[in-house]
């Protein structure tokens, strides 16, 4: 293993290499990996919802995690140890997720966990790893309650929470004072309620930046996984809002858009909402001209080395969110170990709190107070396929920093 040598000039030069430097696996092997026997792998348990409501894109999560492990191992692993991924199906169910996590930790002697698409599973597993297991858990869930335990928690969030998302949407709406009547439509589960609540709170007239005269005239929660949203869309049209904020995600976004198009919703009002590339690409007729945002990693938005790495997965996986999020989770763990120069989870936690890590989206900070990663949000306008990008994508992109939404 090559030793990292040299002074500041060398460090600056190496920093310019970005993730390649971080993951060179370099560093002395003398005392950093005292928790593991020489040559033993660093086991990472990955909770993938292979069955259950997230199963549609869970294979992409696994592919992203596997790719990240492969990249780290290609560069020599971490502190002389290769990463080993152990995938378990949590069925998007807390009891199953906790059982799998417990088995990984107790029987598998795993000290690092990642994954799940379900906030409920994430919350349950976070409580498991906090005490007394002391297992690092890198997870991408939107429920802010998962990270409400303060700086002592062992969980790290790799995507913006519903609170950050709602605040960012409110800032966007407030930036358009001509939008007086605002409607919100979400899915009928915890994420939908949380993001709408955060949006409403941020739109309150006594908040700084309020333009005044902007009123949320309705908020609806459509059934997640529903097949007929026509009555709800008709209701939205009848209410004549100036703008509709939609936080339907993935499949439900497709259903909403497909049914809204013939009803003329997009002609009668502004619509903006969360849309990842895989979703808009899956639509036979993408909603061109609609303003959307995404924080899901996409190699076509974020032109970083990690984003470039994702292209190896091809197609939907490369441009969607699941693979990139899983990739980030594994990279966060690997970088934490390198920063801590130890595989001891407690030292890794300390090293990651307040640190800056390299992700698909670039260099992002981890907030010390709640271990949420300040992932930027990309906002833009949906465009149809072009020669340069032969798939539906965003144009007129703005990358919005989300650090300002954290109250540490």
Partner 1 sequence: MSLATFIAQLFAGLGLAFVLFFTAAGLNLVWGVLGVMNFAAGSVYMLGAYLTTSAIALVGASALGWTLALIAVPLAVAALGAAVEVALLRRTYRAQDENRQFMLTLALSYLIAGAIVLVFGTHFRTVSLPGALSGGWSVLGATLPRYTVVTIVLGLLVTAAIWAVLYRTRAGLLTRAAVDDREMLSVLGVDVDRLYSGVFAVGIGLGALGGVLIAPQGTVSTNLETTALVPAFIVVVTGGLGNMTGALMAALTIGIAQSFAALHDATLAQLTPYAVMSVVLLARAATGRLGWSLTGLRSRRGGAARSAAG
Binding site for partner 1 (CB under 8 A): 50, 53, 55-60, 188, 220-223, 225-232, 234-235, 237-238, 250-252, 254-255, 258-259, 261-264, 282-285, 316
Min dist CB 200 to partner 1, Å, is 16
Give me the helices (H) in 204-270, please. 230-239, 250-263, 265-268
Min dist CB 283 to partner 1, Å, is 7
Cβ contact 220:197 at 8 Å: no
Min dist CB 385 to partner 1, Å, is 14
Cα angle value 63/69/70 (rounded, 5°): 85
Which CB, 230 or 363, lies closer to partner 1? 230
Which CB, 50 or 365, lies closer to partner 1? 50
C-alpha torsion angle, residues 175, 179, 180, 182 (rounded to 10): -100
Which CB, 114 or 254, lies closer to partner 1? 254
Backbone φ, ψ for residue 43 (5° rounding): -85, 135
Task: Assign 81 to helix, strand or coil.
Answer: strand
Min dist CB 383 to partner 1, Å, is 18
Cα angle value 322/326/332 (rounded, 5°): 145
Backbone φ, ψ for residue 155 (5° rounding): -100, 145
Min dist CB 93 to partner 1, Å, is 14
Cβ contact 357:294 at 8 Å: no
Which CB, 226 or 354, lies closer to partner 1? 226
Which CB, 74 or 228, lies closer to partner 1? 228
Min dist CB 16 to partner 1, Å, is 38
Which CB, 205 or 230, lies closer to partner 1? 230
DSSP category for residue 50: -
Half-sphere exposure at residue 115, Cβ-oriented, CA atoms within 13 angstroms:
35
């Amino acid at each position: 293993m090559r030793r990292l040598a040299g002074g500041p000039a060398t460090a600056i030069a190496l920093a310019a290499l970005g993730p390649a430097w971080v993951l060179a696996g370099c560093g002395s092997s003398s005392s950093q990996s005292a928790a593991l026997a020489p040559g033993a792998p660093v086991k990472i348990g990955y909770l993938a919802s292979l069955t259950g409501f997230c199963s549609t894109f869970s294979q992409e999560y696994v592919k992203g995690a596997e790719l990240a492990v492969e990249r780290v191992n290609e560069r020599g692993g971490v502190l002389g140890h290769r990463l080993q991924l152990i995938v378990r199906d949590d069925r998007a169910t807390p009891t199953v997720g906790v059982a799998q996590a417990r088995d990984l930790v107790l029987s598998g002697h795993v000290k690092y966990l990642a994954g799940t698409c379900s906030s409920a599973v994430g919350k349950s597993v976070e409580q498991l790893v906090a005490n007394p297991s002391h297992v690092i858990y890198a997870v991408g869930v939107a429920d802010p309650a998962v990270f409400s335990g303060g700086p002592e928690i062992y969980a790290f969030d790799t995507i913006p929470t519903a609170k950050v998302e709602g605040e960012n949407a409110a800032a966007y709406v407030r930036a358009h004072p001509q939008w007086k009547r605002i409607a919100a439509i979400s899915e009928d589960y915890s994420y939908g309620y949380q993001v709408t609540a955060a949006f409403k709170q941020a739109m309150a007239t006594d908040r700084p930046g309020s333009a005044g005269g902007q009123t949320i005239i309705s908020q609806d929660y459509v059934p997640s996984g529903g097949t007929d949203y026509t009555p709800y869309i008709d209701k939205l049209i009848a209410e004549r809002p100036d703008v509709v904020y939609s936080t339907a995600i993935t499949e439900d976004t497709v259903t909403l858009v497909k049914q809204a198009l013939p009803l003329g919703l997009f002609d009668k009002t502004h619509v903006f909402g969360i849309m990842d590339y895989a979703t808009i690409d899956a639509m036979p007729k993408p909603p061109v001209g609609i303003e959307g945002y995404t924080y899901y990693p996409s190699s076509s938005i974020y032109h970083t080395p990690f984003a470039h790495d994702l292209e190896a997965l091809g197609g939907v996986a490369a441009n969607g969110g699941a693979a990139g999020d899983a990739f980030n989770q594994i990279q966060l763990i690997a970088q934490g170990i390198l920063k801590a120069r130890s595989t001891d989870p407690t030292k890794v936690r300390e090293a990651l709190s307040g640190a800056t890590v390299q992700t698909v989206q670039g260099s992002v900070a981890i907030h010390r107070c709640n271990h949420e990663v300040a992932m930027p949000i990309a906002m833009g306008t949906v465009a149809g396929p072009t020669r340069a990008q032969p798939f539906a994508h965003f144009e007129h992109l703005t990358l919005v920093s989300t650090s300002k939404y954290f109250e540490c």
